[in-house]
Structure 1
Amino acid sequence: MPHTLDAAAVRDWCRTALRALGRAREEIDAINVYPVADGDTGTNLYLTMESAAQSVDAVLDGHAASGGLPEATEAVRAMAHGALIGARGNSGTILAQLLRGMSEALAERADAEGLRTALGLAAASAYQAVAHPVEGTMLTVASAAARAARERDGDALAPVAAAAHAGARDALALTPAQLGVLGRAGVVDAGGRGLVTVLEALERTLRGDAAEQDGGRTAQRTVPPVPYGCGTRGIGDPHVVPGGPAFEVIYLLEAADDAVTALRARLDRIGDSLVVVGGGGLWNVHVHTDDAGAAVEAGVEAGRPHRIRVTHFGDVQRLRENAAAEPGPEPAGRAVVAVVEGEGLAGLCLQAGATVVAVRPDEPLASGDIAEAVRRGGADEVVLLPNDDALRDIVGAAAQRARAEGLRVALVPTRSVVQGMAALAVHQPSRRFDEDVVAMTAAAGATRYAELAVAAHESWTMAGVCQAGDVLGLIDGDVAVIGGNLVETGTIVLDRMLAAGGELVTLVLGEGAPPDLADRLQAHVRESHLAVDTVVYAGGGRGRPLVIGVE
């Protein structure tokens, strides 16, 4: 019986938990009634654990090539990272935080006392990750497991894991009495059921029977036989949630801790079932909301969202009934209003179907100009693309005016024209409004932007002191490179942006750009960054010889 949890044991735990969740998936899906009866909790837990297991396998396989095993610290951190990037749904996101909390303690100490600490830290961190914790859920089960482990004395790991499993199992049986929706449906909490399965797998691993010599079946039923009848079918259509939010929004987010604090507050105002887990610059965000576009926009403002998933499970029937009860005029369609500088870019946006508001260097733009463009479009649904951080407040004011006039308006927070072009490229008026806004926001957020400018005078920058005439390379709005000419600076900027990956480079030439600038940069991309395509557009604004986008 092992007294420490080594890397091989972590791998066996993940594999055993994955097999067990695979067998229990349909049962867990069937009893899923909280927070949304969408019948996918078992599937989400399985996919989250699958990502964790794959991450651990990758680490061990890498070390196997050199004939060794990684330290337990590396394995548990890989498990937590894999769960974080692969977390699905409310329950999967909470499981990811539980595993992350455990990994922090086990990385320091992988013995019995470390496991007790790990389970306690896991429960505490999971409660902190959920905006409004509810008892009778997997949070309650996690806390019970931690208490039972703390009360079990001894230096052996397996008895501590067994105590945690038993405590979780007993707590799960009580969940119908703690949460009314479970009691009315006659089921235990689905997320808690999955957590019991994961803890049972840990016990089996530490007892040495993770290989499951029982022919692929668990030796005994470890969950109390709480009746669940026909599961979610007994309470109606699982995708109809009367009075509930219409969308589940999940995305990974690269952001600083202080930005996530503000993000939590904003998402809490527009949705529920909010869970934000992670740390160290990488987060997994989960929220249920009626405004999927606003949820993704909040992520764009906080940092860099990716792997965005939006699931519709709202009460479509209720919306249809409301529409039938309150008939109104047929929608006049959807318009995209783009704020653009430069005739060439204006023409491109017009070809893409947008209504264009031109920015002129000698005429300040006012919100009334944008509001007038919205009216000219004659649409009931409008998407606004500011394409410049400096214009965000003005465009936002125009959006408020349009909403006051009864229009449905969404502002996609594009910070550069290349982000606006990426958003326009995926715009589909045939989609539902929210889905279209989410797709456009995701495309914009996945596009990094840069620009080249010539310094007018000596100045301090993020990259050091520049002199008048120096070429400045700005990446995502900050000066990152100070160079002597446009080609040299553009090359360095492209290399830095493409170091993080990319499939398509967009070059927008401004007025006064040298005629060979695009050709020389295109040649550099072809030679140094294989499989990256490049497109070039002319006719950008004044003062910026080049704008760069990387998707």
Structure 2
Amino acid sequence: MVLDVLDLDALRRWVVAARSDLATYAERINNLNVFPVPDADTGTNLLMTVDGAMGSLTFSQPADLGRAAADLAQATLMAARGNSGVIISQIARGVAEVLVESPDQQLTASGLADALQRATNYAWRSVSSPVEGTILTVAGAAADGAAMHADGSLLEVVVAAVEAAEVALVNTTEQLESLRQAGVVDAGGAGLVIVLQSLRRVVESGGGPVRPLTEPPAWLTKEAAVLTTDCGDDDEDGDGPGYEVMYMLSDTDEQRIARLRGILDRLGDSLVIAGGPQTWSVHVHVDDVTGALNAGADAGRPHRFQITRFADEIAARHPVAVSKQTRTLVVAVTESPGLSDLARAEERMVVAGDAGRIARSSAVRAIRETQLDDVLLIADSSRSSGTADLLEKALRDKGVRVLRPGASGPVEFISALAVAHPEQSAQEMLGSVDDALIDLSTGLLTIAAEEFETAEGTCPKGGVVGRIDGEVIAVGTEALPVAAEVVETLVSERDCEMVTLVAGERAPDTLADTLRTSLGRAHPDLEVTIVAGGGPYVLAVGVE
């Protein structure tokens, strides 16, 4: 026997079923992702969004259906990731509003049709420049299909919504040029259809076990054949915004939201502002990240920031080509722009040192697509090393053998990169890297975040700290004296032939050149190399 109404138990089972289905198909949805940006994260974003909804029902556990639906809507909005995630959150909002208004707090056939229509209206209003052929089109079709059967049974409404949504989804391939070229359906729309299909199985279960997934439909088994880097379908020069910016906004009102919408619409595209009245979710693609954040600060209290650089996401998905001679994949995990460029010049795959979950997932997928059994991860900082740890775990869970050098830092990164040749076997490569690091002594200059005591005296907040192999050997208020002491100590205490100076983002313009000149006078036989690292340090020094 099928369900006649949706009660609290059915709502919970819908969320669980949707989460399970998205977990199963997230990778397939990612493979469809070409619009508005081919960053292969729509499936992941939707999964993370529904994860947030599950957290609401798990921890709040209200006995009242209306309260549960309201909690669900708020949690989904707060957890929303990406354009499609924000739009999906409006489905939860529509359901919540209908349930709160229902005297018996049950979602009937007509109530579900009403909820889907409200959700569609909210979704379309939240998008600054709606585009046909996207999740919005699919949501509209689902609402229209449900409305045509609103006088029937709950199952009839759900089936009509699912079938109409599937037809609209298949048609998206011809509605957007980027989808037509790639030969796929819209990724966000695909995710919405999966969520609606999970509801259909819950209703059909009649309160019993929800039947398992069948074979995926044909539209979900395809993979984008053509990928562009356009951020908009009509962007003829292909030079769209470089960043995705998301944040939550509180302490605001409709008038300020309208003003914010106008500002962000001028700054970028793919603008979605949803929610209210207390909390709003803001999503936009821009080049001017600072402008987008300042606009949010002027409109209220922004929080829970997420900033993604599309080039990093796309580069992670499309690594350099692997030749037939490649035996071990070298992956550079770095937060120094100059070292990222250095690795790319060597045709190595690069992952950002602060890569989030989506970027790491893209990197793992790209690594596995090479079908190589062995991977060497090299990192340029403690933060990058933490990201490499997460990558290592994810790769090992997928059966990939991962090698890690015993040290990380800007100079160690450069040394490892120089001797790690892809045609080597994993053990040969690791041996070469270990040998290079054994012969290397390093120093690092950073800026003190707080005042602290050292054996060399008090280092003030904002002061320059000089370390050799992790031990503080000099502090001061100026970079040059501290750098000179670190360099001279390294050179004088070791029999070395080469010195590498990696200038960070906090380095004075002439620091590295001044040190090289000084070393040339005092040690004319030394070979001194300067690298523009640009990382979050003053200077990294290596001698060998």
* TM-score category of the 2 structures, normalised to the smaller one: 0.5 to 0.7
For 2:65, give the aligned amino acid. Answer: A
Answer yes or no: is the 8 Å Cα contact 1:257–1:281 preserved in 2: no
Residue 182 (structure 1) aligned with residue 182 (structure 2): no
Alignment equivalent of 1:294, drawn from 274, 291, 294: 291
* TM-score (structure 1 length as normaliser): 0.54
Q: In the aligned structure 1, how far is the partner of 2:156 from the partner of 2:116? A: 14
**1:163-312 alignment, distance < 5 Å:** 163-208=160-205, 217-221=212-216, 223-225=217-219, 228-229=222-223, 231=224, 234-235=226-227, 242-254=238-250, 255-312=252-309
Q: 2:96 aligns with which of 103, 110, 122?
A: 103
User: What letter matches 1:83 in structure 2?
Assistant: T
CA separation of 1:132/1:239 partners in 2, compared to 1, >3 Å: closer, same or farther?
Answer: closer
Residues 153-164 of structure 1 mapped to structure 2, 5 A cutoff: 153-164=150-161
C-alpha distance in structure 2 between counterparts of 1:268 and 1:212, whole Å = 46
Instruction: Provide the residue aligned with 1:53 in structure 2.
Output: 54
Give the corresponding residue for 2:113. 116
In the TM superposition, 1:118-517 aligns within 5 A as: 118-208=115-205, 217-221=212-216, 223-225=217-219, 228-229=222-223, 231=224, 234-235=226-227, 242-254=238-250, 255-314=252-311, 430=535
Unaligned runs of 5+ in 1: 64-69, 324-347, 355-376, 380-427, 433-551
Cα distance in 2 for residues equivalent to 1:297 and 1:312:
18
Size of the aligned set, in residue pairs, is 327
Structure 2 partner of 1:10:
11
SS at match of 1:309: strand
The 2-side partners of 1:239 and 1:351 are apart by 42
How far apart are residue 207 of structure 1 and its match? 1.7
Counterpart contact for 2:202–2:210, Cα < 8 Å: no
Aligned 8 A contact 1:277 1:285 in 2: yes
Residue in 2 that maps onto 1:413: none
User: Partners in 1 of 2:4 and 2:299 — Cα distance?
Assistant: 43
Distance across 2 between alignment mates of 1:308 and 1:84 = 14
CA distance in 2, matches of 1:227, 1:205: 24
Change (3 A) 1:203 1:226: closer
Contact persistence 1:250–1:310 (CA under 8 A): yes
Q: Deviations over 1:358-389 (max 9, x none)?
A: xxxxxxxxxxxxxxxxxxx999xxxxxxxxxx
Please report how far the alpha carbon of residue 78 of structure 1 lies from its aligned counterpart in structure 2 after TM superposition.
1.5
- The change in CA–CA distance for 1:212 and 1:220 in structure 2 (over 3 A counts) is farther
**Post-superposition shift, 1:171?**
0.7
- CA–CA separation in structure 2 for the residues paired with 1:139 and 1:265: 21
RMSD of aligned alpha carbons: 3.6
Partner Cα distance (2:119, 2:65) in 1: 18
Aligned with residue 66 of structure 2, among 65, 70, 73: 73
- Give the partner amino acid of 2:213: T
How big is each residue's C-alpha offset from its partner over 1:112-170, in whole Å with a ceiling of 9 and x where there is no partner? 11111111111111000000000000000000000000001435222211111111011
Which string of whole-angstrom CA distances, capped at 9 and with x for unpartnered residues, describes residues 16-60 of structure 1? Answer: 000001111010000100011000000000000110121122232
Aligned-partner residue type, residue 103 of structure 1: A
Mapped partners of 1:180, 1:226: distance in 2:
19
Query: Once the 2 structures are TM-superposed, how far is the Cα of residue 239 of structure 1 from its aligned partner?
Result: 10
In 1, the alpha carbon distance for the partners of 2:91 and 2:24 equals 22
Using a 3 Å threshold, how does the CA distance of structure 1 residues 350 and 24 change in structure 2: closer, same or farther? closer
Distance 1:238 1:28 in 2: 19
Is the alpha carbon distance of 1:236 and 1:181 closer, same or farther for their aligned partners in structure 2, counting shifts above 3 Å?
closer
Specify the SS of the correspondent of 2:280.
strand
Q: Is the Cα contact below 8 Å between 2:185 and 2:219 reproduced in 1?
A: no
- Is the contact between residue 239 and residue 314 of structure 1 (CA under 8 Å) also seen in structure 2? no
Q: What letter matches 2:75 in structure 1?
A: G
Could you say if the C-alpha distance between residues 54 and 107 of structure 1 is closer, same or farther in structure 2, counting changes exceeding 3 Å?
same
Residue of structure 1 in register with 2:80 after alignment: 87
Instruction: State how far apart, in whole Å, the 2-side matches of 1:284 and 1:120 are.
Output: 21
Q: CA-to-partner distance for each residue in 1:176-220, whole Å, 9 max, x for gaps?
A: 111111011000000000000010111111222686665xx4135
The 8 Å contact of residues 116 and 146 in structure 1, kept in 2 or not, is answered as: yes
Aligned to 1:457: none
Cα distance, 1:106 vs structure 2: 3.0
Query: CA-to-partner distance for each residue in 1:471-503, whole Å, 9 max, x for gaps?
Result: xxxxxxxxxxxxxxxxxxxxxxxxxxxxxxxxx
Q: Matches of 2:283 and 2:308 in 1, distance apart? A: 11
Residue identity opposite 1:137 in structure 2: T
**Are residues 59 and 8 of structure 1, via their aligned partners in 2, closer, same or farther at CA, if it must alter by over 3 Å?**
farther
* Equivalent AA in structure 2 for residue 131 of structure 1: S
How far apart in 1 are the matches of 2:311 and 2:269? 13
Aligned to 1:32: 33
CA distance in 1, matches of 2:227, 2:462: 49
The question of whether the paired residues in 1 share the 8 Å contact of 2:201 and 2:210 is answered with no
Q: Distance in 2 between matches of 1:200 and 1:15?
A: 13
Supply the distance in 2 between the matched residues of 1:107 and 1:220 (Cα, whole angstroms): 36
Note the C-alpha offset of 1:295: 0.9
Shift of 1:286: 0.4
Any conservation in 2 of the 1:106–1:115 contact (CA below 8 Å)?
A: no
Structure 2: distance between partners of 1:93 and 1:298: 19
SS in 2 for 1:280: coil
2: CA distance between counterparts of 1:212 and 1:186?
36
How far does the alpha carbon of each residue in 1:381-401 deviate from its partner, in whole angstroms, 9 at most, with x for none? xxxxxxxxxxxxxxxxxxxxx
* Normalised TM-score (structure 2): 0.55
Q: Secondary structure at the match of 1:117?
A: helix
